[in-house]
Amino acid sequence: MRKNIILLAAMILCAGILKAQKPENILAAVGTPPNPKVQVSWNRYNDYAAITDICKRLAAAHPNLVKIESMGKSFQGKDLWVVTITDTKVGNADKKPAMYIDGNIHSNEIQGSEFALYTAWYLAEMYASGNKSIMSLLADKTFYIAPTINPDARDNFIHQANTAHSPRTGLIPIDNDRDGTTNEDGFDDLDGDGHIVMMRRKSATGRFKVDPTDNRRMILVGAEEKGEYELLGSEGNDNDGDGFVNEDGEGAYDPNRDWGWNWQPNYIQGGAYKYPFSLPENRAIVDFVMKHPNIAAAQSYHNNGGMILRGPGAIEDVDTYNALDIRVYDALGKKGEEMLPGYKYLVVYKDLYSVFGGELDWFYGGRGIYTFSNELWTGYSMYNKTDGEDSQNQLYTFDKDLLMKDAFVDWHAYKHPLYGDIEIGGFKKTYTRLHPGFLLESDAHRNMAFSVYHAYNTPKLSVGEIEVKDIGGGLTQVTTIVNNERMIPTHSSQDVKNNIEIPDIISLSGGTVVAGMIVTNRDMNFTVEQKLDPTNIKVQNIPGNSFVTVRWLVKGGSKFTVNVNSKKGGLASKSN
């Protein structure tokens, strides 16, 4: 008996361990890791524990590529994981141009974590499979990926009964109804089915009726029509006896109104907390970014609406985004529209609404980092057609046609202590804002590819020609070109304008430097001399898809080495 129990336990354990398949049994689909070491199903959502497990498994399976560390603690004490991905056999991770990616700043916008995590998984597994493009990318670049930056509220959304829109914020308690008690009158799962849906009751004065073409749907009656029902809002009770339902739920401070760029207090920008970076999660991110000046590009994942957003968040900041940087944004954003069908490249303040104290504005305005915020999921994906006037109808038809009505809780009777005989029903929290499972991996892949394209276009520096010329008097003139082979400059215009990051340093060794200069016109021999420390020439910027020319006058030597050190552009070196 004991032997059988041990055998059964061993079988269960083995069944629970996902192993790579045998290569001889697989025909690899193009663009996908053919036999990943870390098996992950990308058609579902992971809680904090599962995210932690996937990160740790990636690090264990790919020790030369993946490192996991905590950049701080959440309000409730959870580690804020950052996964660093680069080819550690080729250069130091923190000396390469880097892409920072995070997701789930808003707790109900959970697919951002899956998209960020998919990116980490894909890069590691495709490198391991021998994909030359990814191997080349990770030789040159570093990715810092923070799958969830609001883990407390993420777990609340996943494990507690919520609507698709709650909780949006963190879980720091707040007294929304100012009765002296926090969080006492949030949603109640009246029937215990795990879903917070809608309440309705029959009423002679109601303004809604059942759609005759779909009995799940409520529609507003016309001015001369008689209604059947009144809608009572989301599922819940009046727990504090003040006559109102669901007015004091969990959390209310918005982590995307907490950043130290054009921050405004709560009475101006709803959701702001005490002061910039007063939320511990955001403070940890800021500390991480400040310690990693090699971050040249960033991506934050939100939902929903199918948008590739750039700042400014408010019109007051419109002059911050200058023409040279907008050219880079436009080139990247327009490419994103090609890669992400149904998504539109937009400007926050102009195409949406004003945001003060937003993450992407701090990354760009405060650090000079080209940053996008993608709003994931679009109704276009339902039937691959533009989402128009039938968008609400599409939710019902798509659920019926492709989801087998799995997204809707059918209306059913309930005896409410305040409202009496009512009915409960409606869409589950995992619908309307979140991807259905079968579309989750597809959109994760496309957004990953857009981030990879962005990262690829961070600076790539190389030393080109080194011209050595004897000019007499014991002096040698050494002239070199430093190329930037990618679209993004080593310093954004915002960076240069505000001296955010130190200049790039181009150095010469092999002789005694007596003069150093930047060549502004080689044909006309126009130069600007750097009189202090001429060996190490400071260059304010190496433009994208362009170059700079520098020159030294040297005593002695014939074999010279040029070294380039750029915080966001990385390192480069060459000898004549």
Catalytic residues: 375
Count each helix (H run) and each strand (E run) in the chain, helices first: 14, 23
Structure tokens at 44: 């579902």
Burial 476-514 (b: 16+ CB within 10 A, else e): bebbbbbbbebbbbbbbbbbbeeebbebbbbbbebbebe
Where do the H-state alpha helices sit in 208-253? none
Burial 167-203 (b: 16+ CB within 10 A, else e): bbbbbbebebbeeeebbebbbbbbeeeebbbbbbbee
| Angstrom distance (rounded) from CA 307 to CA 343 | 5
Closest CA to 573 of 60, 89, 121, 91: 91
| Angstrom distance (rounded) from CA 283 to CA 118 | 25
Peptide bond between residue 25 and the one before it cis (omega within 30 degrees of 0):
no
Q: Are the beta carbons of 545 and 484 closer than 8 angstroms?
A: yes
The DSSP call for residue 222 is P
Q: Are the beta carbons of 235 and 243 closer than 8 angstroms?
A: no
Closest CA to 402 of 425, 428, 436, 434: 436
Burial 422-439 (b: 16+ CB within 10 A, else e): bbbbbbbbbbbbbbbeee
Three-state SS at 55: helix
One-letter amino acid of 304: N
Q: Are the beta carbons of 164 and 427 closer than 8 angstroms?
A: yes
Q: Are the beta carbons of 196 and 187 closer than 8 angstroms?
A: yes
User: Would you tell me how many other CB atoms lie within 10 Å of the CB of residue 559?
Assistant: 10
